Structure 1
């Protein structure tokens, strides 16, 4: 088995007591690489030291809309300077995006489009957060076209929306949501798409799988997400190994890792 968790927040405090052991367990179970996005300016900056401690971790830098209350006007310029300085250590820009559950959509959009420009300048993919905002993200893409694709993290949307993102060079992040039977639309969409358009993710410590609600999610759940995806695609046993390799290559190619 060989997997890449394309989205996990291993630097969050939930893992402070067990991080080293958890990373060791991931390696033992074939989860070879772990991608940790940035969510605030300070946390993005701290990821440089974090990645230096863990050689199988890839990092990104970004400002997540959830933390908009912490945003200050100099953050975008500082983020740009930081990303330019540490270009060789970053594999993506993000986590960034637009979230309708959070106020000030105009500011969110401005920040998101700055991330797109920065990613284009540094020739890096984007890690994009969305929540009830596919239309706003599409509008931002029209004004500022991403040149190096990325991941639509925790994709939930229609086939039409999926094809729109794929057309723009994006892959769709597949995580714990597909383990919930109620997520019929998302399950049917990802089941119909080829591996080259998908990447696996856990969003640890958030987004627990069905049956694990209330527990801290970890990258160790990635094989369960893969198994559920195989079931949705109705793959035969002999097809699963090829599919696994295709997913690994899809993520590896995007992030150049």
Structure 2
């Protein structure tokens, strides 16, 4: 199947992770050939931000790489108070590579003792994003109602992407009311994911964006040890089957959705 050039946008790929160090150039060349023209790389710890921005600068030719900067809830033990000040400064004088705040959120699969600290960190990063008028990339596990409550309390209206969304239809609608898009990844490729596949078949395409979460969340059709952004067209194919539309329609609309989110102020 042929795809229009540079039409796919992988809205969540950890291309800066060490799993890609030995093969990053080859992966990006393969992405370009597959029509994956854009990749958003979310940051997870402060120590990785400078390298992430540099990666986006160095490799923004065949594939346009953009960065989100954030403090991920699964790395709480690595975060320091000074990280938030560093994030504030980077957002204040941000370069064109930085287009969002993330990956931020709540992970309630972690021990309950960490939840209050996670909530405080999320609130502070949402406030920084609001000040910078940037969308956010949300990581949410077992905590959609709590995240929605915080978004409502802070009146956060800039929107963002709920990465790897697997909540309910009601939660999806509440995120949409706040300007959020819902990330669709390799999880929909697994036949046993009947609830998620049913939900994605029902949600409007205008609410969705594509992602791989590479090197994690390997789809059912992927070979090898790690996931890759090269698999994005395959994920689009799975969504196209669920929604009974063409892959081109999936690519075009999800690209339009993400660009409208990122550049809403322009």
TM bin, normalised by shorter chain, reads over 0.9
1:210 aligns with 220
Q: Which moved more, 1:201-210 or 1:136-145?
A: 136-145
After TM superposition, the score normalised by the length of structure 1 is 0.94
CA contact (8 A) 1:204 1:218 kept: yes
1:110 aligns with 120
Which one of the candidate residues 5, 29, 36 is aligned to 2:10?
5
CA deviation vs aligned residue, 1:122-150 (integer Å, no higher than 9, x gap)? 11110000110112101211221222100
CA distance in 2, matches of 1:208, 1:17: 19
CA deviation vs aligned residue, 1:17-53 (integer Å, no higher than 9, x gap)? 1101111110111000011011001112321211110
1:249 aligns with 256
What SS does the corresponding residue of 1:250 show, helix, strand or coil? helix
CA contact (8 A) 1:158 1:185 kept: no
Which one of the candidate residues 177, 182, 193 is aligned to 1:172?
182
CA deviation vs aligned residue, 1:168-226 (integer Å, no higher than 9, x gap)? 10000000010112222211111112221100000000000014376210011001100
CA distance in 2, matches of 1:34, 1:160: 29
2:192 aligns with 182
2:204 aligns with 194
1:39 aligns with 44
Give the superposition deviation at 1:87: 5.0
Give the superposition deviation at 1:244: 2.4
After TM superposition, the score normalised by the length of structure 2 is 0.91
Residue ranges of structure 2 left out of the alignment (5+ in a row): none
CA contact (8 A) 2:65 2:97 kept: no
Give the superposition deviation at 1:99: 0.2
Residue ranges of structure 1 left out of the alignment (5+ in a row): none
Give the superposition deviation at 1:241: 2.5
Aligned ranges for residues 1-257 of structure 1 at < 5 Å? 1=3, 2-55=7-60, 56-86=64-94, 88-103=96-111, 104-212=114-222, 215-235=225-245, 239-256=246-263
